[in-house]
Amino acid sequence: MLRLLTETFFRVAAGAIVAVLSLSLVTPALAVSATAAPLLAFSARIAGDDARTRLIIDFDRKPDFKVHYVANPYRVLIDLPETAFGLKAEELEARGIFSDIRYGTMAAGRSRIVLTASRPVGVVLAEVQEEQGAASYRLVIDTAIVTDQAFQALMEKQSWQEAAAPASAEQTPVMLPGSRADGPFVIAVDAGHGGIDNGARGGVTKTEEKHVTLAFARQLTEALNALPGTRAILTRDKDEFLSLSQRVQLARNEGANLLISIHADTLKQKDIRGATVYTISDKASDSLAASLAERENLSDQIAGISFVDEPAEVADILLDLTRRETQAFSINLAQSIVSNFKDQVLLINNPHRHAGFRVLTAPDVPSILLELGFMSNKDDEKLLVDPAWQKKVAGLVAKAVEQYRSTVVANGG
Ligand SMILES: [Zn+2]
């Protein structure tokens, strides 16, 4: 008997069963072909109080979504396929149960909304409603506070693994930074923030830090690649989220000789301006450095990454030695940058500072964090968004790297 219609079931990520009718003469793949353009979230609102909060987001097409929970702090994650968020900032301003709401790209093809709550929270209802004859689709998320016990139960019930879980550090053997094999001198240029983590925002131009850092990182990569025997790589080359440990791991996987992480944060003290170069230390050099490191280290939390406590490191004399050598190299590069910036780029007082930045924790890659200036200062902001200024500063950093390489590495290795 000829069957004209076959019914195909397939499982979507959410675990829901979706029925698709397809003609037997048409391949199922064609019938279920996904639209390539990202979803568009074009409007949103949030209402409620500190006991119940409702979130409504309107999409141009039906969104496949999945709800997850993460603890410390209490968070609800709404994972979506690639989504363009055409929302005004005030439409999803944190309120009710939620103290912070973020949304943006996680990786290619994945977007996320992160709702951070000050109390344990549960999703009471999560559904998509068809609007006006499928002209648009409304995602409704109802949340309510729950007991801590109930939250733990929700956490345990979900069978979920963060897709972007950081790679295990054990995969890359630790090497003394001064004992690299011959080959190009590799520099990992790390544009701070990205995707769902916007970083700071300029007061005048409203430019987000993640765009400033990427623009500068591109200029720096170009300047470095113009040096002989040098290969500069970007940890991210688009507006996507990378966890701090992914950044470290990417540098190590590439056998990087250096990691330079680029930032342009904001401070409460709007009059403070100028560049700072940070190296790692357990104890911060000052309170400004400590608070900046604390804020930078929140990046993973903003994106809804759950923290698995890393096992305490076994005392290892070789690793200790490597860390110490790496530290000495990092300090050398920092000093080289500061001296190249003198009279060329405005520096803050005591421009070489240190604090516990997680992005600087590679045991065997000398790493610095370059705070180009502050988006909270309007004079700095003007420079930070200026491609000509970026190019000039990138050139000076490249010069500093060249000096570092010829003096420190030649003698130390
Ligand atoms: Zn930053």
Tell me the pLDDT tens digit for each residue of 53-83: 999 999 999 999 999 998 888 999 999 999 9
**Spacing, Cα 247 to ligand 1 middle (Å):** 14
**Spacing, Cα 193 to ligand 1 middle (Å):** 6
**Spacing, Cα 131 to ligand 1 middle (Å):** 40
CA distance 37 to 54: 28
**Spacing, Cα 76 to ligand 1 middle (Å):** 24
Q: What are the domain boundaries of the chain? A: 26-157, 185-410
**Spacing, Cα 413 to ligand 1 middle (Å):** 32
- Separation of CA 54 from chain center: 27
Instruction: Report the sign of the C-alpha dihedral through residues 212, 217, 220, 222, in that order.
Output: negative
**Spacing, Cα 208 to ligand 1 middle (Å):** 10
Residue where the block lists tokens 């003609």: 23
**Spacing, Cα 248 to ligand 1 middle (Å):** 16
Q: Using one digit for the tens of pLDDT, what is the confidence trace for 132-177?
A: 887 899 999 999 999 999 999 998 888 766 644 444 444 566 666 6
**Spacing, Cα 17 to ligand 1 middle (Å):** 42
CA distance 131 to 20: 21
Q: Does the domain formed by 185-410 have CATH 3.40.630.40?
A: yes
Is pTM, for the whole model, over 0.75? Answer: yes
**Spacing, Cα 217 to ligand 1 middle (Å):** 13
Q: Which fold has domain 26-157?
A: Immunoglobulin-like (2.60.40)
Helix (H) or strand (E) holding 390: helix 387-404
Flag whether pLDDT at 180 surpasses 80. no
**What single-letter DSSP state applies at residue 72?**
T
CB count within 10 Å of CB 314 equals 6
Q: What is residue 3's predicted lDDT score, i.e. its pLDDT?
A: 33
**Spacing, Cα 192 to ligand 1 middle (Å):** 6
CA distances to 66, 211, 269, 297, 413 from 365, rounded to whole Å, are: 37, 25, 33, 19, 14
> Contact at 8 Å (CB) between 297 and 356?
yes
Upstream peptide bond of 73 is cis (omega within 30 degrees of 0): yes
Q: Using one digit for the tens of pLDDT, what is the confidence trace for 78-136?
A: 999 999 999 998 999 999 999 999 999 888 889 999 999 989 999 999 999 998 887 89
Closest CA to 378 of 274, 270, 288, 216: 270
